[in-house]
Structure 1
Amino acid sequence: MASHDHSHHVSPDDPHDHSHDHDHSHGHSHDHAPTVTTDSVKRVRLAMILTAGFMLAEVAGGWISGSLALLADAGHMFSDSFSLGLALFAFYMGDKAPDKLRTFGYQRFQVLAAFVNGLTLLAIAAWIFIAAIQRFTQPVDVLAGPMMVVAILGLMINLVVFKILHGGDQENLNLRGAMLHVIGDLLGSVAAIVASVVIMLTGWMPIDPLLSMLAAALILRAAWKILRRSSHTLLEGTPEGVDVGQIRQALLDVEGVKSLHDIHVWGLTPQDPLLSVHLVIEAPELHDGVIERAYDMLQTRFDIQHATLQVETRDCLTGGECNHGMVVHP
């Protein structure tokens, strides 16, 4: 093998014929099929049906009773129905095979859907705040009896939906996003129940928009969490729990590796870390052994199933961000 061979930049199980392919028993895989189980899909579908169904009841109950808390919760449940439907669509898209235009497939669509869910939460919270402020300046009489009945039913439905989603894969970003929506609904139902009790006992109407604003603040917190995580992934950020410095040192400790540069770690989804790096080896004849040991170490120590290793015999032989890749900055 020539000392400047540039062909070593694919995983060992690449479906094409390369002279450096290794036995597939090592488990190096290009398979980027999403870790979405059939059980998770069923759970999201059932949750969507229950949420969309009761949303109509809350809209009617909020309109009849004049309760902003109920209408706000109905708006949030509409957002839930939308987000759950989007999650189902994301599961379907993520299961599609890679093609010539999208060689990684459609897994990233799940993250994009989660980002949209977070934006939807922000919009719902903003609407609740605006409507609550208007209620303070223009009070509306609320029928506490119908409000309480609908709020209690809503709480029961939300508890059922939460239990359904909580039993699914908590590492899936869309499932987590959907569950955060439901938590917001639970808080909305509790706020509506408390508001109805206060109105029945004291007749103090401002409690309705006041508790609506409290629920909106909690919704904003949930939105921030899902937006922060999804945007980090969309920006090719290092997946949670992955220490690039540790990976770099572990690669340098592989027998035969002299130095490395251009190390990048990112993920199609937060659960699917990917790595690419240029390894500088001491001698051309060490190539196959270094590849073997490096892949096995990445899989066993860091659970990185897909890595692209470019092997070189001189520093920065093929160019790249050599000056920036030698040291990992915090």
Structure 2
Amino acid sequence: MGHHQHHNASGRNIRTAFFLNLGFTAVEFIGGIVTNSTAILADAVHDLGDSVALGQAWYFERLSGEKGNRRYTYGYRRFSILGAILSTAVLLGSSLFVIVEALPRIFDPQPVHAEGMAVLAVFGIAVNGLAMSRLSKDSGMNARTVALHLLEDVLGWAAVLVTAIVLLFADIPVLDPILALGITVYILTGVVRNLMKLVPVLLQAAPEEIDIEALEEEILNMEHVRSAHHAHLWSMDGRQAVFSVHLDVDKPLSPAEYRSVKEAMRDLVEKYGIHHSTVEIEFPEEPCRNSEDGPCS
């Protein structure tokens, strides 16, 4: 029940961020044209991409809570990873667009309406800051990717506000594209870091927070267990870990001994925070079902 409530809260937070972002994007495009500001238009493009990302993130977050079926036996939780990757792709594309638009302005600066920029910047920081605060406590990778989008917008609008204030007192229009490029480069760095977290989950790498060597050592110290093989540890969605292992026991076990081994494994995986585990217990001389070489021992 606790996880279900967390999932619902995450979906509601992403939905709120989506509608806030989508509504303000239209205002940004109009404001960017009126003020002739590359930075505002750049933020409008980013917010448009973010709106798309938030919309599909909301969809995938809802879908990821569905139960398993004959087609997707684990459920739809890993769909949130797909949503996070698509969001990252949109963020990369919109950032590259900003770079293409801002570079010519550095060599050919254009006058901008500083007062209008300042007003839009204040609203932009407020709207995106509110949306980001709704997601700040979510732990899922999808929510973290969406929060990165919103952080980009907050920083982008902060850059617009700083530029506007400076331009109110000095005629330096080149600051507009320079600051836009600086924020975009910073965000791209964050995108790369986020991709470095997403890719291992996609490739089913063992979660860094779980010491698989220590886990295997404790398994080997269990009564009746003489070896362990085909041990696999991976994360379903960046939050919930999955573990499977084959245990080679020292003798044919009685029903009580068999239950004892299973209960010891259950306690062990709970200790390491593993959400789902599968254990295969193999008696001496019993062929390993995952091996082509006959007995595992």
Question: Does TM-score exceed 0.5, indicating one fold?
Answer: yes
Q: 2:108 aligned with 1:138, yes or no? A: yes
TM-superposed deviation, 1:97: 2.2
TM-superposed deviation, 1:261: 0.8
Aligned residues: 290
SS in 2 for 1:297: helix
| CA displacement, residues 227-250 of structure 1 (integer Å, 9 cap, x when unaligned) | 121211110011230111011111
CA distance in 2, matches of 1:317, 1:75: 60
**1:114/1:42 CA distance change after superposition, 3 Å:** same
SS in 1 for 2:233: strand
Q: 2:141 aligned with 1:178, yes or no? A: no
Q: 2:42 aligned with 1:63, yes or no? A: no
TM-superposed deviation, 1:36: 4.3
CA distance in 2, matches of 1:116, 1:136: 31
TM-superposed deviation, 1:319: 5.4
CA distance in 2, matches of 1:322, 1:174: 40
* Amino acid aligned to 2:191: A
Q: Quote the residue 2:125 is aligned against.
A: 155
* Amino acid aligned to 2:211: D
Residue correspondence of structure 1 range 16-165 to structure 2 within 5 A: 36-165=6-135
SS in 2 for 1:305: strand
| CA displacement, residues 197-242 of structure 1 (integer Å, 9 cap, x when unaligned) | 2222221111010000011012102211221212111100112301
**1:50/1:81 CA distance change after superposition, 3 Å:** same
* Amino acid aligned to 1:61: G
Q: 2:227 aligned with 1:293, yes or no? A: no
TM-superposed deviation, 1:305: 2.9
TM-superposed deviation, 1:322: 9.7
| Larger helix proportion of the pair | 2
**1:234/1:149 CA distance change after superposition, 3 Å:** same
Pick the aligned partner of 1:317 from 255, 266, 287. 287
Pick the aligned partner of 1:234 from 186, 202, 207. 202
Determine if contact 1:47/1:161 at 8 Å carries over to the other structure: yes
CA distance in 2, matches of 1:34, 1:224: 31
Normalised to the residue count of structure 2, the TM-score between the two structures is 0.91
Higher relative contact order (CA 8 A, sep 6+): 1
Q: Quote the residue 2:162 is aligned against.
A: 194
CA distance in 2, matches of 1:189, 1:296: 50
TM-superposed deviation, 1:310: 1.1
* Amino acid aligned to 2:116: P
Unaligned stretches of 5+ in structure 1?
1-30
TM-superposed deviation, 1:62: 0.7
| CA displacement, residues 132-191 of structure 1 (integer Å, 9 cap, x when unaligned) | 11212333221112111111111111221122222x42x111111111111111110011
Q: Quote the residue 2:248 is aligned against.
A: 280
| CA displacement, residues 65-117 of structure 1 (integer Å, 9 cap, x when unaligned) | 11111111111111221222112101221122212121111111101110111
Q: 2:193 aligned with 1:225, yes or no? A: yes
**1:275/1:35 CA distance change after superposition, 3 Å:** farther
Q: Quote the residue 1:28 is aligned against.
A: none
SS in 2 for 1:101: coil
Determine if contact 2:50/2:90 at 8 Å carries over to the other structure: no
Structure 1 stretches of at least 4 aligned residues deviating more than 3 Å after TM superposition: 33-36, 319-323
Unaligned stretches of 5+ in structure 2?
none
Residue correspondence of structure 1 range 237-276 to structure 2 within 5 A: 237-276=205-244
TM-superposed deviation, 1:118: 1.2
